[in-house]
Chain A
Amino acid sequence: MSDTMHQMHGTGETGAVQPAIELRGIDKRFGAVHANKEIDLKVDKGTIHGIVGENGAGKSTLMSILYGFYQADAGTIHVDGKLCDIRGSEDAIAVGIGMVHQHFMLVETFPVLENVILGVEGGAVLRDGVDRAREELQRLEREYSLDIDPDAIVGDLSVGLQQRVEILKALFRGAEILILDEPTGVLTPQEADHLFRILETLKEQGKTVVLITHKLREIMAATDNVSVMRQGAMVAHRKTAETSPEELSELMVGRKVLLRLEKGDANPADTVLKVENLCVDNAQGVRKVKNASFNVRAGEIVGIAGVSGNGQSELLEALGGIRSVSEGVVELNGQDVTPGKGVDAAELRRRGVAHVPEDRHRMAMVTAFSAKEAAILGYEDDPAYQKGVFLDWQAISNATANMMSEFDVRPANPDLKAANFSGGNQQKLVLAREIMRNPELLLVGQPTRGVDIGAIEFIHKRIVAMRDAGKAVLLVSVELDEIMSLADRILVMCDGAIIGEVAASEANERVLGLMMAGVDPNEAKAVEGQS
């Protein structure tokens, strides 16, 4: 049965069979937010179907409805042509839908096997089901080359392996349709490639895969069909072979977007930031940054690449003066400014270091504040904002309005609560606050995390403009595309150490990916040379 079906797809005769999933008129509101607007979607059996859209376009909501996490206000779900009433995850599982969530739904203290059988234990006493589960697991691992030790504790596994446990979980439940929500956000490029090979195998076995992502490159590389969402609505369906990243991004944003940042060559001048043998320990005494040495010159952007959690955050926080340094020296324009030795974040700011932290909500702003309060954070003792012992709210309002017009923050209302701005507009306000002080050195972490494409373009342009104005910029990002398009030089961090440096002109994803996984730079380049 499945063989014949597979063959039918091989010849592209998809019209004859029922689609694996069909959504009709799905509508969902969360209070005032209209998250899904009468969505129609057909996913053909045995294909990989991509769903793209910006953050907040409603992709995750739609998939959560399909998986029974939320109920739609209106609309119907059909699986294999049959109307399904999906009221909870158990209903979705029953009709053969499996989901790999963006934040893994795993119990970290459990071994792989227990995670996989959770909910389908096969009897009140575990022993009854475990042996059968172990056999089934081994079969699945072989079939899809997943390669996981069933007795390993999940918390000890790498992120890539944990994701495979999630896939195993779905397959073990007999999933015929697998939904993956932003699966590559936490993976190295090599791990992502491996994931796509697994998805390809699943497809060959007749399974249907729905891939949700905002990365167009992945859509182009891995999918058969693609649907585009914008502001809660489904705006287009395309065969992947018949579309282009340019068309897709235009559909996502609703206007033409420049995908490749246009920037001239860098003209690096004097060294602004010099870091020597910097070591940073976290609160538990674990060394997170190990002997980092590098410099950043005026008029260049130095990017730090690496998989999330390899010490970049700690490095950035130390340089920003909010984390003390265990060993090493930091110099700014030749002066010792090693944080912790009488130098704190405020002192660094006075000396011309602007810091845009990675976590906007936790560190860059207070979302409960109004925009004008958020816009002076860290600079609230500036004489320009004072009137005697009080704050000069008129001056602050004017300054904020100025920032807002300069950085295109919408709505341009200094009295609006910071939480009510979109992620992109919050980030633009933070950047405006830091950049408009005209600093010598800009430290910027994850500048476009949770930011829509339109704002990404704007933010990238402003960062390049800083460079062209002769300022030094240190950029930390886990988005390789961002690093490659912005940075003039790229440092790669792995396990706290700077493993090597690559000029942006020589950088490509494979070499950087290997280095991010800890492969020596020369070796990485050699491997690249062979292939």
Chain B
Amino acid sequence: MENFELVILLLDATLRTSTPLILAALAGMFSERSGTINLALEGMMLGGAFSAAAVAFYMNDPWIGLLAAIATTIALSLLHGFACITHKGNQVVSGMAINILMSGLTALVGIALFAQGGKTPALDKAARFQPITLPGAEAVKDVPIIGPIYFELLSGHNILVYIAFLAVPAAWWVMYRTRFGLRLRAVGENPGAVDTAGIGVVAMRYRAVICSGVLVGMSGAYLSTAQGASFLQDMTAGKGYIALAAMVFGKWRPFPALAACLLFGFLDAAATRLQGVVLPGIGEVPVQLVQALPYVLTVILLAGFIGRAIPPKALGRPYVKER
């Protein structure tokens, strides 16, 4: 029974740690399926997290913070699009530039506004997304098995967690069942086919990176106003890259990407649990090693599996009409 509770707690933590990864991975998917490499997820997430925390602090409302985060990431997406789509720049370089820019800019503005060494002030309860108790959760709380699963695991998360999990089927539906999705996938495979079908390639790609911006903005806001209670310098700590890895590992598809995010989230949650735990035969596991696990796994998975993943054909290639 104690093990069962432990599992429930671990899974509960998994949902929380995988939420930002899911949102960011979907963001990456929208961008990359349209042919634009989005290495800037990391920097955008950071920018979103900062905007959300700063605005939520001033307005004392997490929703306005969320909107600010999304506005920031859309602006960054448009910047990325301007460099990569309009001016046909190198997409990797543009992405890395945004990451470096945001790492510095968030700290700079943070210090200028709050003078707390790059942090934002701790947010009040009212300025953060609060846990939501699902209907009937209290009632079934004490029922064995079902009780803990419903009350502990499914209920009691903040709204962004639920949005993230609902975003996966929604993204799937948009991608595979709508005209927008069809055109988006086509423009990432063969932009010439889209152009000759009378659809603007540039407009299509811009719309895709804007979708990407909306999703990654939510992921940033989650870090600073839902999971945490303030912005910390470089608080994303590579989550943008991990989300990108999860998306690649999930072969640019929503549900496999979700599975990959859950795996990474689980490792993250397990790492927290394992800190200080004495494992039989090994002894106490060093904290650093445990924390490195998700990253090590990323490398292993990518090295082992990426060879079989087939990216969108036009990924990374700006569209130039042939002469």
A residues with CB within 8 A of B? 30, 67, 69-70, 88-93, 99, 101, 103, 105-110, 114-115, 117-121, 123-127, 169
Contacts and interface: CB of A to CB of B under 8 A. Distances in A.
B177 A125 contact: yes
Contact of B196 (A30, A91, A101): A101
Contact of A124 (B178, B186, B189, B199): B178
Given A30-B323, A69-B321, A109-B189, A88 B179 contact: no
Contacts of B197: 89, 93, 105, 118-120, 169
A107 B186 contact: yes
Given A105-B196, A107-B185, A108-B313, A121 B179 contact: yes
Contact of A127 (B177, B192, B195): B177
Interface in B175-228: 177-183, 185-186, 189-190, 192-199
A306 B248 CA distance: 38
A36 to B, nearest CB: 13
Q: Which 10 pairs across A and B sit closest by C-beta, in order of nearness?
A: A90-B198, A119-B197, A105-B193, A121-B179, A89-B198, A105-B196, A107-B189, A107-B186, A118-B197, A105-B192
B198 A125 contact: no
Interface of B: 177-183, 185-186, 189-190, 192-199, 313, 321, 323
Contact of A108 (B181, B189, B321): B189
Contacts of B189: 107-110
Contacts of A91: 198
Contacts of B313: 108-109
B182 A114 contact: yes
Nearest to A31: B323
A481 B219 CA distance: 62
Nearest to B179: A121
A30 B323 CA distance: 9
A89 B196 contact: yes
Contact of B180 (A110, A124, A127): A124
B247 to A, nearest CB: 17
Contact of A125 (B178, B192, B193, B194): B178
Contacts of B321: 69-70
B179 A107 contact: no
Given A99-B196, A105-B193, A123 B179 contact: yes
A91 B199 CA distance: 11
A35 to B, nearest CB: 9
B198 A119 contact: yes
A107 B196 contact: no
A128 to B, nearest CB: 9
A90 B194 CA distance: 11
A91 to B, nearest CB: 8
Contacts of A120: 197
A119 B197 CA distance: 5
Given A89-B195, A93-B198, A126 B190 contact: no
10 contacts: A69-B195, A69-B196, A105-B190, A105-B195, A107-B185, A108-B313, A118-B199, A124-B179, A126-B181, A127-B177
Contacts of A118: 182-183, 186, 193-194, 197, 199
Contacts of A123: 179
Given A69-B321, A119-B199, A108 B180 contact: no
A88 B193 contact: no
Nearest to B323: A30
B179 A125 contact: yes
B52 to A, nearest CB: 31
Given A108-B190, A118-B193, A119-B198, 10 more contacts: A69-B195, A90-B198, A107-B193, A110-B186, A117-B182, A118-B182, A118-B199, A125-B177, A125-B178, A127-B177
A99 B193 CA distance: 11
A106 B198 contact: no
B198 A126 contact: no
Most A CB contacts (10 A, CB to CB) among B183, B195, B196 go to B196
B180 A107 contact: no
B54 to A, nearest CB: 37
A204 to B, nearest CB: 26
A173 B83 CA distance: 34
